[in-house]
Amino acid sequence: MTPVLVFDIETIPDVDGLRKLNGIAPGISDEQVAAMAFQRRRQATGNDFLQLHLQRVVAISCALRDRDTFRVWSLGEPGEAEGPLIQRFFDGIEKYTPQIVSWNGGGFDLPVLHYRGMQHGVHAARYWDQGEDDREFKWNSYLGRYHSRHLDLMDLLAMYQPRGAAPLDQFAQLLGFPGKIGLDGSQVWPAWQAGNIAQIRGYCEADVANTYLVYLRFQLMRGALSPETYQQEISLVRTTLEKAPDAHWREFMQLWPA
């Protein structure tokens, strides 16, 4: 069985990078630096979503289905430096060559990891292989939009049309799954400023659990899972999360009645 690794990241403004690019004096607070960047972005585009190379990664969460187990966790320790955090993610790909699954990972998560990983000198030879080292990767790499080694569920379900994109929260709920808990993306920066990294990691973990559940429904739809096997996989997720001690999983399961 090829391991299936679902992933999601959470980001905040790269305040140090914004200071460097805009020549901002050290006396200006991080909050003010970010506020100025948001304001410039709103003036330029109508929203305050910063460009991907200016997004600093503060959490990477994963859901792994391998052999007879399923688990969800966040990489590294709370508040771990960005470079080692990103390196941990690519080390997992290097070691296990999993099937990776995301929701808009091709449009956001992976480009951010590319830019930020390069800044930190991250090594990811297996991930970047397009057939130079392993001939199989010529026909199925992590980088090819239409290859399956990275499955961006949102992109595929939308038939690669931006106007067809759907929010994970809403679509998961429509399928009977919990959807987001605790936070939304716009609240990550305030939560980080308040020191609530555990809350950010919990929110990110819930996202990967939702994404995995949507992935299971997709596998049922395309015939890769029988109805019986699908129910067994759902039961495995339920049993695993019901035993999890963290408060965010109790909230998650309350929103997902049997």
Averaged pLDDT for residues 110-119: 98
- In the structure, what pLDDT confidence band is assigned to residue 186 with cuts at 50, 70 and 90? confident
Apex CA 78: angle with CA 72 and CA 82, to 5°?
100
Q: In degrees rounded to 5, what are phi and psi of residue 149?
A: -65, -30
Which residues, in sequence order, are CB contacts of 60 under 8 Å at separation 6+?
7, 8, 9, 74, 75, 76, 85, 86, 88, 89, 204
- CA distance to 7, 89, 229, 232, per residue, from 110 (Å): 10, 11, 30, 31
For residue 160, the 8-state DSSP code is: T
Residue 99 CA, distance from chain mean position: 14
Q: Looking at the domain that runs over 4-254, which CATH code has it been given?
A: 3.30.420.10
Mean residue pLDDT across the chain: 95
**Whether 7 contacts 62, CB under 8 Å:** yes
> pLDDT tens-digit profile of 227-257?
999 999 999 999 999 999 999 999 999 999 8
Q: In degrees rounded to 5, what are phi and psi of residue 4?
A: -110, 120
> pLDDT tens-digit profile of 54-100?
999 999 999 999 999 999 999 999 989 999 999 999 999 999 999 99
Tokens of 228: 């019986």
Apex CA 75: angle with CA 118 and CA 106, to 5°?
50
Domain boundaries, the chain: 4-254
Averaged pLDDT for residues 172-193: 91
Cα distance between residue 56 and residue 61, in whole Å: 15
pLDDT of res. 225: 97
Q: What is the pTM of this model?
A: 0.96
> pLDDT tens-digit profile of 18-41?
999 999 988 899 999 999 999 999
Tokens of 46: 């109508």
